[in-house]
Amino acid sequence: MRPLAVDLVLLRSTAPDLPLVVGRVLAARVLERHGQHGVINLAGAFLTAELPDEVQPGDRLRLVVQEMRGDRAVLALAQEPPSGPQVPPALAEPPAGDRVVVLASDGEGGADGERAQVVTVRFEGKTIGTVELRVALDDSLVHALAAFSDGAPLELARGRAGTLRDALAAAASRPAEVEVVARPNPLDVYV
């Protein structure tokens, strides 16, 4: 796909909080196709684009910001990740003494009362303590809430929240938001 120039004024008017920086991967969906051109939905903005032959209506695209010039952003089709789940060998099993608990539940309330798919993962580690990650996916948004032990783990997580947000948005082909909070310390009370 040849790079396509996007009108920043149009995009900013429909998605003012969408950060556009070189290298950022954005999710888009093909709505229509007419010959070599089609209409894509990028962060709520309907844009005309030249499409490669293999792209069809309904396809989800990953677009990477290649260049910013004046009132235009130049986007190109991102290289697709390898098919199938790729689990790094180091993450296949938690280290000795660490534990991963997956609690999954579907149908919880999403944005604007929509039903959402939700998964909660708790990692109990010797070095960083307990980490809880809750990811909710609805028709318009993916939201992650990450709770870390106070101190260095929390500060590191806050510094990397943007990386998690970008990865979730690319994987889910929709905008994502990430909230990193301090995990409350348990309180033991004995009478």
pLDDT digits (tens, 9 = 90+) for 137-169: 888 888 999 888 888 888 888 888 888 888 888
d(CA 2, CA 125): 46
Instruction: Give the three-class secondary structure for 11.
Output: helix
If asked whether residues 102 and 170 sit together in one domain, one would say yes
If asked whether residues 43 and 118 sit together in one domain, one would say no
Q: Which two tokens stand for residue 23?
A: 């290298």
Domain boundary among 77, 112, 129: 77
C-alpha 156, offset from chain centre: 19
Measured over the CA atoms of residue 156, residue 159, residue 165 and residue 166, the dihedral's sign is negative
Residue with the larger pLDDT of the pair 185 and 130 = 130
pLDDT given at position 179: 93
Question: H or E stretch including 72?
Answer: strand 72-77
If asked whether residues 54 and 130 sit together in one domain, one would say no
Q: How many domains does the chain have?
A: 2
Expressed as residue numbers, the domain containing 62 is: 4-77
Task: Give strand ranges (E) for 95-139.
Answer: 99-109, 115-125, 129-137
If asked whether residues 114 and 160 sit together in one domain, one would say yes
Domain boundary among 77, 103, 126: 77
pLDDT digits (tens, 9 = 90+) for 86-109: 444 444 455 566 666 666 565 554
Q: What is the CATH number of the domain that holds 41?
A: 2.40.50
Residue with the larger pLDDT of the pair 82 and 107 = 107
Q: Residue 80 contacts by C-beta under 8 Å, 6 or more apart in sequence? A: 62
If asked whether residues 136 and 163 sit together in one domain, one would say yes
Q: Is residue 22 part of a domain?
A: yes
Contact assessment for residue 106 and residue 139, using Cβ atoms and an 8 Å cutoff:
no
pLDDT given at position 96: 61
Q: Is residue 188 part of a domain?
A: no
Instruction: Give the three-class secondary structure for 82.
Output: coil
If asked whether residues 50 and 111 sit together in one domain, one would say no
Check: pTM over 0.85? Answer yes or no.
Answer: no
Residue with the larger pLDDT of the pair 146 and 17 = 146
Query: What is the distance in angstroms between the CA of the first residue and the CA of the last residue of the chain?
Result: 69
How many Cβ atoms sit within 10 Å of the Cβ of residue 15? Answer: 16
